[in-house]
Amino acid sequence: MFHINVSLFGQTKSLENKIDLFHDKLLDAAMTFKRTILVYLDEQRSDEYKKLSKQIKQIEHDADNLRRDIENKLYSQNLIPDLRADVLHLVENLDKVINRFDEVTYKFYIERPEIPSEYHRRINELCNLSAECAENMAKASRAFFRDLSSVRDYSQKVYFIEHESDLSSGHLREAIFDSDIPLANKIQLSGFINDIADIADIAEDFIDELLIFTIKRDI
């Protein structure tokens, strides 16, 4: 199983380029998200944080336009009709992760959570885990279009990292609720932890579906 190593696109080079670029946008969003949260932990709503937050917003905007272009090409030119619904579903779910990166950074900007310094390292670790999950999700998705034999390797990385994210977020919430900070702060921080960890959960759900689509292609 998963032995195909040829491109899904055949002669549809323009569509291939757009989907490649869409995966690049997701990777850019994940990397920028890591930098943005690290800057917030060090500087809160500094000019650098605002600049990075705007970069994620621009990535999200560009990705939305790309998604619409991909959808239009698939339908208007009747490309890869046998797998069109699966491809559209994958692209839409990739876009959800980019949107979530934007939503979380914007929530930090609006709510300005006060995060005690003793939790900075662990929150940064959780952000890195979720971003790494999204990065491997993007690589698995790209492999679906180019080299099915690599899909499982990247998928297993997502499953492993998502498990680490679950453990990290659970321990972090437990530590926060065991602390002496006000209850309102505990609840707010718990919400942010959930939002960050949800990125890894979405990536895991995506991989579940991607593996099913991969089996369909390999039959």
pLDDT at 172 over 70: yes
The count of structural domains within the chain is 1
Q: How far apart are CA 55 and CA 53, in angstroms?
A: 5
Mean pLDDT of 79-98: 82
Does 164 reside within a domain? yes
pTM: 0.86
Does 6 reside within a domain? no
**Percentage of the chain with pLDDT > 90?**
70
Query: Could you identify the residue written with the tokens 């943005």?
Result: 36
More confident residue, 81 or 155: 155
Does 4 reside within a domain? no
Does 145 reside within a domain? yes
Residue 8 Cα to chain centre, angstroms: 23
Q: How far apart are CA 162 and CA 68, in angstroms?
A: 29
Q: How far apart are CA 113 and CA 49, in angstroms?
A: 14
Does 53 reside within a domain? yes
Does 8 reside within a domain? no
Its domain, for residue 115, covers 13-218
Q: 81-106 burial, b for 16+ CB within 10 Å, e for fewer?
A: eebeebbeebbebbbebbebbbebbe
Look up the CATH number of the domain holding residue 94.
1.20.58.220
More confident residue, 77 or 196: 196
Does 27 reside within a domain? yes
Does 28 reside within a domain? yes
The chain-wide mean pLDDT, for the chain, equals 88
